[in-house]
Structure 1
Amino acid sequence: MPAKDIYHDTVKNALIKDGWTITDDPLSLKVGKKDIFIDLAANKLLVAEKKDKKIAVEVKSFIGTSEIEDLKNALGQYILYEKVLRSKLSERTLYLAIRKDIFDGLFSQEIGQILLSDDYLKIIIFDPETEMITQWIN
């Protein structure tokens, strides 16, 4: 099993504070002979809609020497996990969890705007100090 991201527990706590129930830590998926581990899976009962919303969350710290390299790695992992999740557990929606300062820095620039333009990438933005989710990008 892979090592946890340094913000793994921070995001887990933020999801719990936001009313989510953590169901898997990590979410393990078998693809043929390969194992894939997505950091977290959570459920939340949406009373108004009378249904259970299910998500999977991949946490990324962006602490490498290059934000662009970290972004490439995160996006590659997101695409892989999203496609596997869609084929194995289609009721779950995958989110990439990143810190607010990383989102504000990268996604306010042209490169980030390009990534958000087609609504494919789903992001949870969190504040590591308060362990709170500050924004959902659907």
Structure 2
Amino acid sequence: MAAEKQGQKIAVEIKSFLSPSKITELYAALGQFIIYRIALQKQEANRTLYLAVPSTVYNEFFILPFIQSVIKSNQLCLLIYNIEQETIAEWQI
């Protein structure tokens, strides 16, 4: 999904993490994210890619120290969304 946030062009890869194995979901999401980011750099270098994850998954899984190191090492920009309220809870760059 392509959009603008405060005048900045962004793209968002939305993931639900419904599988029982969150690490397997992260493995797939991270691979897609890296491929999409490389493609965007070639086609729209001024667009920032975000990985969107549900707030429940973020609060239970993404806060783990190992997962935080994966996020930092791969320079993931996160969009954390609230499923019930259908709102964006947080942006992390």
TM-score (norm 2): 0.92
Which residue matches 2:48? 93
Match of 1:83 among 9, 25, 38: 38
SS of the residue corresponding to residue 18 of structure 2 reads coil
Structure 2: how far apart are the matches of 1:72 and 1:122? 16
Number of residue pairs the alignment of both structures matches:
93
Q: How far off is 1:116 after superposition?
A: 3.0
Structure 2: how far apart are the matches of 1:119 and 1:79? 8
Structure 1: how far apart are the matches of 2:84 and 2:20? 22
- Report percent identity of matched pairs: 38
Structure 1: how far apart are the matches of 2:70 and 2:61? 10
The structure richer in helix per residue is: 2
Question: Which residues of structure 2 form unaligned runs of 5+?
Answer: none
Q: How far off is 1:119 after superposition?
A: 6.8
Structure 2: how far apart are the matches of 1:78 and 1:121? 8
Structure 1: how far apart are the matches of 2:4 and 2:62? 27
Q: How far off is 1:117 after superposition?
A: 2.9
SS of the residue corresponding to residue 51 of structure 2 reads strand
Q: Deviation per CA, 1:88-119, whole angstroms, max 9, x where unpaired?
A: 11111000000001111112212222123347
- Kindly report the root-mean-square deviation, in angstroms, between the aligned alpha carbons of the 2 structures: 1.3
Instruction: Tell whether 2:77 aligns with 1:116.
Output: no
The structure richer in strand per residue is: 1
Larger Rg: 1
Which residue matches 2:23? 68
SS of the residue corresponding to residue 125 of structure 1 reads strand
TM-score (norm 1): 0.63
Question: Which residues of structure 1 form unaligned runs of 5+?
Answer: 1-39, 47-51
- Amino acid paired to 2:4: N
**Segments ≥4 residues shifted beyond 4 Å:** none
